[in-house]
C-alpha cells in the first residue's frame, strides 16, 4: 500500500513538471517556435551538417546561428537563431571538432579523477571532491540542452581548482594511477567527435542544395548529382539590400530554377572581393563601391543591382539594375553614368530593398542570358 502511494506521488510530480514547463507544447509537431522539441532536433541536425562541411576550423566565433539560418535551415522556416542551443554542438560548429574533443576530454577527465581521488583524501577532502564532481556533472549536462558554457564556466573552473588541490594533497600520500581515467576520457571524447562528424556526412546527402566548398568569406552552392565545376555565377550580397538571411533567399531561387545545374558562388557580406570566380558577378547595393576598385577578370560580366551610393570610380559593367523609387537618392547619378558609359539599365519595382520578385528578375536574367 505504501509503495502504491509513493508511485502515485511520483506520477503526480512528473505530471505537474510536464504541465508547468509546457512540455506538451514542446513535443507538439505544430509548434513553429525554436522551443519545440521537433525544431530543436532539426536545428541540431543542421548543426551536424555544418560540422561536416567545416570540421577542422569551424565557421568562426559567434556565427553558428546566422550561418545555419542562411545555408542549412529549411526554406519554409523563418525562425532566427542566435546559436545551436547546445554548447558542445555550438563549439564544434564555430571552433571545429578538435576544440570540441579537447573540451570533452577535460570535462570527462575531471569527473573521472574526482571519483578516483575520493579514496585517497580525508573525509573533509572527500566532501570537497564530491562537490567538485557534482558541479562538473551539472556543467556537463546543462550544456547539452543550452548554450550556457560561457556563462557557467566559473563553476567548471572552481571545480577544476578543487580537483587540482585534492590531487596534489592525495598525491603526496599515494601514487595516483592517471592513465586509466585519461585513456577512457580520450576514448569517449574521440567517439563523440567521430560520431558527430559521420552523422553530419550522412545527413548532407538529403538536401536539394548543398555546400560544395566553404572557405573564408565564400560559399559554393551546388545541386546533388550536378557536375563539380567552378561556379558560373557569383553573387555579392549585402545586408542593406537582402537583409541578414540573404543565403536563404539565394538557396530558394536556386532550388526553383530546376534546369540550372551550375554551381553558384556567394561572397559573404564584409568579405573581400578578390576571389569572385563566376563568369558573371552580381554585385548588390553597398558592395558596388568596393567592386569599383577591382576590374573584372577576362570575359567576366559584372551586373550592379540597386547601388546605395553614387558612382565614384570607373567601372566596366554589363548591366545596371535600378529601383523605380529612389530610396538611396543616387538613381539619377547612376542614370547619368549609364548614359555616358552606354550601359543598359533595367528598372525594378520598389524602393531599393529587393523583394522576392525583384531578386527573381535579376537571377532569371543572369541564368537565361
Q: Stretch 273-296: mean pLDDT, rounded? A: 86
Residue 240 in this model has a pLDDT that exceeds 70:
yes
Here the cell at position 230 is: 567552378
Residue 265's pLDDT is 93
Q: Over the stretch 195-224, which tens digit does the pLDDT of each residue have?
A: 999 999 998 877 888 888 888 789 999 888
* Contact between residue 340 and residue 315 where contact means Cβ atoms under 8 Å apart: no
Within 10 angstroms of residue 42's Cβ, the number of other Cβ atoms is: 17
Q: Stretch 271-295: mean pLDDT, rounded? A: 87
Q: Stretch 4-29: mean pLDDT, rounded? A: 51
- Give burial (CB, 10 Å; 0-12/13-18/19+) of 88: buried
Residue 121's pLDDT is 64
Look at 76-80, 113-117, 353-357, 361-365 and tell me which has the smallest mean pLDDT. 113-117
Report which secondary-structure segment, H or E, holds 332: helix 331-341
Residues 6+ apart with CB under 8 A from 174: 120
Residue 176 in this model has a pLDDT that exceeds 70:
no
Residue 296's pLDDT is 81
Residue 152's pLDDT is 57
Residue 242's pLDDT is 86
Residue 206's pLDDT is 74
Residue 256's pLDDT is 85
Residue 337 in this model has a pLDDT that exceeds 90:
yes
Residue 95 in this model has a pLDDT that exceeds 90:
yes
Own/partner pairs, 252-256, CB within 8 angstroms, 24+ separation: 252/75, 253/359, 253/360, 253/363, 254/209, 254/221, 254/223, 255/75, 255/208, 255/209
Q: Stretch 124-148: mean pLDDT, rounded? A: 73
Cell numbers 536545428: residue: 43
Residue 157 in this model has a pLDDT that exceeds 80:
no
312/247: higher pLDDT: 247
Q: Which of 141, 169, 145 is nearest to 156 (CA)?
A: 141
Q: Stretch 220-245: mean pLDDT, rounded? A: 85
Report which secondary-structure segment, H or E, holds 26: helix 23-27
Band the pLDDT of 143: cuts 50, 70, 90.
confident
15/339: higher pLDDT: 339
Band the pLDDT of 237: cuts 50, 70, 90.
very high
Cell numbers 566553404: residue: 214
Q: What is the mean pLDDT of the chain?
A: 81
**What is the Cα gyration radius of the chain?**
27
Give the chain's domains with CATH numbers: 31-207 (no CATH), 210-368 (3.40.50.1820)
d(CA 64, CA 62): 6
Residue 132 in this model has a pLDDT that exceeds 80:
no
Look at 128-132, 156-160, 293-297 and tell me which has the smallest mean pLDDT. 156-160
Residue 2's pLDDT is 44
The three-class DSSP label of residue 315 is coil
Q: Over the stretch 292-316, which tens digit does the pLDDT of each residue have?
A: 778 788 888 999 999 999 998 778 8
Q: Over the stretch 18-75, which tens digit does the pLDDT of each residue have?
A: 454 444 444 444 344 555 677 888 899 999 999 999 999 999 988 899 999 999 998 8
The three-class DSSP label of residue 305 is strand
The three-class DSSP label of residue 233 is strand
Band the pLDDT of 155: cuts 50, 70, 90.
low
Q: Stretch 173-180: mean pLDDT, rounded? A: 60
Burial 287-297 (b: 16+ CB within 10 A, else e): bbbebbebebe
Amino acid at each position: 500500500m505504501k509503495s502504491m502511494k509513493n508511485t502515485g506521488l511520483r506520477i503526480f510530480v512528473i505530471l505537474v513538471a510536464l504541465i508547468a514547463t509546457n512540455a506538451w507544447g514542446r513535443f507538439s509537431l505544430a509548434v513553429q517556435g525554436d522551443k519545440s522539441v521537433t525544431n530543436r532536433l532539426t536545428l541540431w541536425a543542421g548543426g551536424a551538417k555544418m560540422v561536416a562541411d567545416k570540421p577542422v576550423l569551424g565557421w568562426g566565433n559567434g556565427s553558428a546561428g546566422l550561418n545555419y539560418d542562411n545555408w542549412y535551415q529549411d526554406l519554409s522556416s523563418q525562425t532566427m537563431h542566435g546559436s545551436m542551443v547546445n554548447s558542445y554542438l555550438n563549439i564544434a560548429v564555430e571552433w571545429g571538432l578538435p576544440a570540441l574533443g579537447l573540451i570533452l576530454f577535460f570535462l570527462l577527465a575531471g569527473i573521472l579523477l574526482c571519483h578516483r581521488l575520493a579514496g585517497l583524501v580525508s573525509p573533509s577532502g572527500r566532501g570537497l571532491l564530491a562537490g567538485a564532481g557534482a558541479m562538473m556533472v551539472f556543467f556537463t549536462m546543462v550544456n547539452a540542452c543550452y548554450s550556457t558554457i560561457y556563462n557557467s564556466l566559473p563553476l567548471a573552473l572552481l571545480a577544476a581548482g578543487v580537483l587540482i588541490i585534492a590531487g596534489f594533497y592525495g598525491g603526496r600520500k599515494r601514487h595516483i594511477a592517471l592513465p586509466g581515467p585519461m585513456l577512457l576520457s580520450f576514448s569517449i571524447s574521440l567517439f563523440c567527435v567521430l560520431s558527430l562528424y559521420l552523422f553530419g556526412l550522412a545527413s548532407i546527402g538529403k538536401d536539394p542544395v548543398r555546400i560544395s566548398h566553404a572557405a573564408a568569406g565564400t560559399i559554393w552552392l551546388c545541386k546533388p548529382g550536378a557536375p563539380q565545376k567552378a561556379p558560373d555565377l557569383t553573387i555579392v550580397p549585402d545586408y542593406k539590400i537582402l537583409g541578414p538571411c540573404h543565403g536563404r533567399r539565394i538557396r530558394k531561387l536556386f532550388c526553383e530554377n530546376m534546369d540550372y545545374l551550375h554551381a553558384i558562388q556567394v561572397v559573404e557580406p564584409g568579405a573581400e572581393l578578390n576571389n569572385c570566380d563566376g563568369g558573371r558577378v552580381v554585385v548588390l547595393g553597398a558592395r558596388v563601391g568596393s567592386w569599383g576598385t577591382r576590374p573584372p577578370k577576362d570575359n567576366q560580366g559584372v551586373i550592379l543591382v540597386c547601388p546605395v551610393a553614387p558612382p565614384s570610380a570607373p567601372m566596366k559593367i554589363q548591366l545596371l539594375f535600378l529601383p523605380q523609387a529612389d530610396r538611396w537618392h543616387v538613381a539619377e547619378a547612376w542614370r547619368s553614368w549609364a548614359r555616358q558609359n552606354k550601359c543598359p539599365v533595367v528598372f525594378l519595382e520598389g524602393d531599393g530593398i529587393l523583394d522576392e520578385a525583384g531578386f527573381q528578375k535579376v537571377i532569371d536574367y543572369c541564368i537565361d542570358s
